[in-house]
Structure 1
Amino acid sequence: MKTIIFKTASSYLLPLLLLFAIFILLRGHYLPGGGFVGGLIAAIAFVIHSFANGIEKTRGIIKFHPGFLMPIGLALALIAAIAPLFTGGALMTGLWFENPVPVIGMVGSALFFDIGVFLVVVGVTLTIIFTISETI
């Protein structure tokens, strides 16, 4: 399905969906959303682009194998989960910075855990979809 309308729409949808994925990731602190949902939206953005323009063009945008995101995300989530142990807290207890960050608000270990989940979900989803698409 490589019509000109779909190709054009996918060019506009990719940055919009990635921006929306970041919004959902950051929104997950206080409201529904977070790393898992944001990661799925980001992966969907790349899948739509690959359906419209082909896998090779999408791989050219990403510049690296999406499987590399999985260990980075797992390490980030693990560090965010065990960081409270070093401050005398319990595992997965939220640690927060003193001052809020403009636009984002209060930043703490939960955000880093969500970013790790985001990276794992994007890496797993794109690896599966790209592998399936290459074998067809």
Structure 2
Amino acid sequence: MTRTNDIILRATTTLIAFIILGFSIYLFFAGHNAPGGGFIGGLMTSAAFVLMYMAYGIRSMEKILPINFRYIIPVGLIIALGTGIGSFIFGQPFLSQTYAYFQLPILGKTELATALLFDLGVYLTVVGITMTIILTIANDRS
């Protein structure tokens, strides 16, 4: 039997998690020109996931989101390290960045920087580490 506060929590979690995920994407893309980036975007995404895990339970979320967060950590590290080493290919110092403008279908003329790839690596690493720690603690207590 579901208690009343569980129904309220689950109903509001859907909206709140959507808002948090949207804000985390904004922070991720704003990171190379304004405050934000992969680290805080990853923490916000993890916060949305933790909220969903709290509202729906670990077993339900494993069915909805069948991700082993431990595999995300090395992927993020490889992307971040690859962007740093990739600058050597072009004869530039480690972690040098460049940017260019591209005409994208929906967004129009958009600046894309290589710092965005580094932020993606940081983002994935932070989500992987944070969720692994939190889920490991939660599974130890259950």
Q: TM-score, normalised by structure 1?
A: 0.91
Residue 84 of structure 1 and its aligned partner are, at CA, apart by 1.1
**Paired position in structure 2 for 1:8:** 11
For the pair shown, which has the larger CA radius of gyration, 1 or 2? 2
Residue 97 of structure 1 and its aligned partner are, at CA, apart by 3.2
Residue 126 of structure 2 aligns to which amino acid in structure 1?
V
What is the rounded CA distance, in whole Å, between the counterparts of 2:54 and 2:92 in structure 1?
47
Percent of residue pairs bearing the same amino acid type? 33
| 1:14-68 C-alpha deviation (Å, 9 max, x unpaired) | 2221121111000111000000000000000010111111011222232121111
Alignment of 1:29-68 (within 5 A): 29-68=32-71
| 1:70-122 C-alpha deviation (Å, 9 max, x unpaired) | 01101111111111111011001002235365368311210000010000000
C-alpha change, 1:90 and 1:33, in structure 2 (3 Å) is same
What is the rounded CA distance, in whole Å, between the counterparts of 1:105 and 1:126 in structure 2?
32
**Paired position in structure 2 for 1:70:** 73
Match of 1:121, SS state, is helix
**Paired position in structure 1 for 2:140:** 135
* Alignment size in residue pairs: 136
What is the rounded CA distance, in whole Å, between the counterparts of 1:77 and 1:100 in structure 2?
25
What is the rounded CA distance, in whole Å, between the counterparts of 1:104 and 1:20 in structure 2?
22
Unaligned runs of 5+ in 2: none
Residue 84 of structure 1 aligns to which amino acid in structure 2?
S
Residue 56 of structure 2 aligns to which amino acid in structure 1?
N
Unaligned runs of 5+ in 1: none
Query: For 1:106, which of 99, 111, 132 is the aligned residue?
Result: 111
What is the rounded CA distance, in whole Å, between the counterparts of 2:115 and 2:108 in structure 1?
17
Structure 2 residue 35 is matched with structure 1 residue 25: no
**Paired position in structure 2 for 1:122:** 127
What is the rounded CA distance, in whole Å, between the counterparts of 2:137 and 2:46 in structure 1?
14
RMSD (Å) for aligned C-alpha atoms: 1.9
C-alpha change, 1:128 and 1:23, in structure 2 (3 Å) is same
- Whether contact under 8 Å (2:31, 2:37) holds in the other structure is yes
